[in-house]
Structure 1
Amino acid sequence: MTVVSVSMPESLLDRIDEFAEGHGYTGRSEVVREAARNLLGEFEDRKLEGRSLLGVVTVLFSYETSNAEERMMRLRHEHESLVTSNFHNHVGNHYCMELFVLEGSLEEISTFVGKIRATQDTLTVDYSVLPVDDFGAELTSDDHGHDH
């Protein structure tokens, strides 16, 4: 197996070590390998390929210590044909939440989410996707992981 050197903040390394110990992993390498597999597999859902999708992306960041807000604005304009709506909200005294509603292909949405995740100083990035052609169909909680 190839050894890779990765830079990360000490606080993240501590969290990985605690997670490994608390969840029965053999060590931090096993946690990082599983996290990488999960991240790479996120957008490989064959049932979503070739379909028009609705995506919702939420991002939380500190507005005092970063230029993440400026980056969000640039991404919104860069992906103008994908972003159908955008909402900005202040959370508490120090944070901002950015919500993007997207309509496009799996590849377009995954590219957008990747760019959001690559933005320095984002605290959380969460998203969901739903095929637009399912809107008229009877949906069950088994189809998409939530009740309708």
Structure 2
Amino acid sequence: MPVVSVSMPEELLERLDAHASAHEYSGRSEVVRESTRSLLEAFEDDRFEEGPLAGTVAVRYDFGTPSIERRVAELRHEFDDAVAANDHSHVADCCLDLFVLEAEVDAISSFVEKLRAIEDVERVDYSLVPLNGRDRSTDG
């Protein structure tokens, strides 16, 4: 198996090690492999192949980081056709952007992944609901 080197903050590495230990993983690599599979499969759900979805996306990052805020705003404009609503709030010492999207799975997936790729974005969470009459949803 190829070896991959990954850089991460010390605090995240400590959390990774604690998670591996608490859940009896053989080590960091096993946790990273499982996490990678989950990330790559997040939008591979048959329920989402047949029509538009409603999605909510929450993005958290440090307050006072205009470069992140600017990049999030740029993505909002890039996905203007998909974004039905959005709100920017300050919660504790963080910025929290909330988005409501209406689009096909590929557009929502691309939006979420581009948000996650912004350096120093702390967290991106989403929830999807099919708009084709099915009543199932998923969170990620």
TM-score of the superposed pair, with normalisation by structure 1: 0.87
Asked if the contact 1:88–1:99 (Cα under 8 Å) also holds between the matched residues in 2, the reply is yes
Which residue is equivalent to 2:86? 86
Which residue is equivalent to 2:19? 19
**Distance apart, 1:108 and its partner CA:** 0.4
Give unmatched runs, 5+ long, in structure 1: none
Over the residues paired in the alignment, what is the CA RMSD in angstroms?
A: 1.6
Worse-superposed segment, 122-131 or 25-34: 122-131
Q: How does 1:91-130 map to 2 (within 5 A)?
A: 91-92=91-92, 94-130=93-129
Return the alpha-carbon distance in structure 1 between the equivalents of residues 120 and 6 of structure 2: 18
**Distance apart, 1:66 and its partner CA:** 5.6
Q: Deviations over 1:30-61 (max 9, x none)?
A: 00000000001100001211311111000111
Return the alpha-carbon distance in structure 2 between the equivalents of residues 77 and 65 of structure 1: 19
Q: How many residues align?
A: 139
Q: How does 1:1-148 map to 2 (within 5 A)?
A: 1-65=1-65, 67-92=67-92, 94-134=93-133, 139=135, 143-144=136-137
**Distance apart, 1:131 and its partner CA:** 0.8
Match for 2:49: what amino acid?
Answer: E
Return the alpha-carbon distance in structure 2 between the equivalents of residues 59 and 145 of structure 1: 17
Fraction of identical pairs, as percent: 47
Return the alpha-carbon distance in structure 2 between the equivalents of residues 69 and 6 of structure 1: 26
Which protein is bigger by CA-based radius of gyration? 1
TM-score of the superposed pair, with normalisation by structure 2: 0.92
Return the alpha-carbon distance in structure 2 between the equivalents of residues 109 and 2 of structure 1: 31
Report the secondary structure of 2:100's partner residue: strand
Give unmatched runs, 5+ long, in structure 2: none
**Distance apart, 1:67 and its partner CA:** 2.1
